[in-house]
């Protein structure tokens, strides 16, 4: 759990994106956010630690 004590979802992603982590960190961030926005609408990437990506459920929250 991070920040507000809500449980997080743990997920993974393919090597194509992970390879960007060292070669192009900004592109890595963009691709990671886009990947999970498509697959998990309403969830927010809150932490990335190879090979796990931690997502927070923000569906229904006022922003």
Tokens 């979802």 correspond to what residue?
A: 9
What total number of domains does the chain contain? 1
Specify the pLDDT at position 15: 97
Is 50 part of a structural domain of the chain?
yes
The pTM of the full predicted model, rounded to 2 decimals, is 0.85
Question: Torsions phi, psi of 60, nearest 5?
Answer: 80, 0
Domain presence at residue 24: yes
pLDDT of 6 reads 77
Tell me if 23 is assigned to some domain.
yes
CB atoms within 10 A of CB 58: 14
Residue 43 lies in domain: 9-57
Q: pLDDT by residue for the chain (63 residues), tens digit each?
A: 555 677 899 999 999 999 999 999 999 999 999 999 999 999 999 999 999 999 999 998 765
52 vs 36: CA distance, rounded Å: 13
């Amino acid at each position: 759990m991070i920040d507000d004590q809500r449980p997080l979802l743990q997920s993974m992603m393919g090597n194509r994106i992970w390879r960007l982590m060292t070669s192009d960190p900004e592109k890595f961030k963009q691709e990671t956010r886009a990947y999970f926005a498509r697959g998990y609408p309403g969830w927010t990437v809150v932490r990335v630690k190879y090979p796990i990506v931690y997502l927070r459920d923000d569906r229904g929250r006022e922003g």
